[in-house]
Amino acid sequence: MSSDEAADEAESVHIMGAGLSGLAAAITLANAGREVHVHDIREDSGARFDGDFQGLENWTSDSDFVDELATWGIDLSDFKTTDFHTIDLIHPDDEITKAWSPKVAFRVVERGTESHTIDQSMKRQALAAGANLHYKSRVDPEDCHIVAAGPKDTSALAFCEVFETSYPNTVAFHFNDKLAPGAYAYMIVIDGVGLICSCLWRKQERNERFLNETLAWYDKHYPELERKSVKRIGGKGDFTLNRRYKVNGRYYVGEAGGLQDFMWGFGMRYAITSGVLAAQDILGECDYETEVRRRLLPTVRTSVSNRWLMNRVSNRSFKRLAKAWMKDQEKRQDGLPFIEKMFRPDAFRWLVYNLFARWVLKRVDTDDGRVIHRLPYRGALKRDEWKPSEEGVAVGERWKQQRRKKSRAAAEEE
């Protein structure tokens, strides 16, 4: 921090991390006329991500997230969003059905440093409100009022490939314990750009074989994709339950505070909401600890139960789950209530949480004086060892060659 900033410290608010949660807090505070300084170790907001698509879910609450954003003064029209009512639901035995809802089930946004991403839009909105953003700025959490630094440790990993395609806009959600151990794989195509990911909720040797095999699966089952690989990206998720969310006067928001979906990693809504709530507490409009426990923790705890249950199943149960989802959709003429029911607290999941799920989390005493309980990155199972298919090996080889060609071209340019 510069000496000028230090002199203003009594009135100004310092935030560690210019991601979604930190920027949401900054927009709220700056809109209320407070002096705000946001520090990020990276060179820009969104630099943690590199053009990946993510889904802003609309199932953990009755209100549409767009309406919530508007009441908080966050302008959704400033970044590119694509509404989805229908997805391809891919069963573990390769059957593909349609899950759909008359409501907007979720919106796809892009993460990264390009101008149409949610990260850059929130950065613009924070600057327009008068916040001061400091990139490549390293600060101690002890010097900040809000800690919004994202994940620290690893509970799960995602491996993805971005590609070009002329395939129409599509989201495919893929239950397959072989391609994505303990989790799911997915494909998102928006306006000529595609993303295929394999999420690993179990720690593996030779991680890339899962992505290669997943890509080979999509090449076979969606032949019109005609995928032209652009780059490979990925990231980690950190899932923790915190004993307190405000500690020594500091607010822990977003993934830094463990406010994440333990089951499938839909953390953006938690991140933005918690950032806004921390700012509202600073403005004297609410009590952060109370609001987190009332509005966010019940669904986070439900996701801990869901994760515990997911860790116990294999493809046979995933097939049953997919069939139950489709049957419920047929009955209600809407696929969203099935997902809403899964994500919202109920007596069964409360019991699972208290009897089993919470005891799996590992206690950690953090350097900044907090007690948190982290979801450990589970070990591989015997069934995670399999012989890659010829198609999967070929996908991996093609990617290696493309990467070599690119680095040779870059070296020649220099």
Ligand X SMILES: Cc1cc2nc3c(=O)[nH]c(=O)nc-3n(C[C@H](O)[C@H](O)[C@H](O)COP(=O)(O)OP(=O)(O)OC[C@H]3O[C@@H](n4cnc5c(N)ncnc54)[C@H](O)[C@@H]3O)c2cc1C
61 vs 389, beta carbon nearer ligand X: 61
CB 327 → ligand X: shortest distance, Å?
Answer: 26
134 vs 319, beta carbon nearer ligand X: 134
CB 387 → ligand X: shortest distance, Å?
Answer: 27
376 vs 393, beta carbon nearer ligand X: 376
188, 175 Cβ separation under 8 angstroms:
no
- Distance from C-alpha of 252 to C-alpha of 148, rounded to nearest angstrom: 6
186 vs 399, beta carbon nearer ligand X: 186
188 vs 357, beta carbon nearer ligand X: 188
Query: Taking the chain, what is the end-to-end CA distance rounded to the nearest angstrom?
Result: 36
Which residues of this chain interact with ligand X, rule CB under 6 A? 16-22, 39-42, 45, 48, 52, 54-55, 57, 148-150, 158, 234-237, 254-256, 260, 265-269, 271
* Angle value at C-alpha 271, between 14 and 11, nearest 5 degrees: 20
CB 24 → ligand X: shortest distance, Å?
Answer: 8
CB atoms within 10 A of CB 99: 21
CB 369 → ligand X: shortest distance, Å?
Answer: 16
CB 408 → ligand X: shortest distance, Å?
Answer: 28
18, 39 Cβ separation under 8 angstroms:
yes
Nearest in space to 22 (alpha carbons), one of 53, 2, 48:
48
CA 129, distance to chain mean position in Å, is: 26
CB 22 → ligand X: shortest distance, Å?
Answer: 6
16 vs 247, beta carbon nearer ligand X: 16
- Distance from C-alpha of 361 to C-alpha of 363, rounded to nearest angstrom: 7
Could you tell me which residues come within 8 angstroms of residue 12 by beta carbon, excluding any fewer than 6 positions away?
A: 5, 34, 35, 36, 37
State the residue number with the nearest CB to ligand X.
19
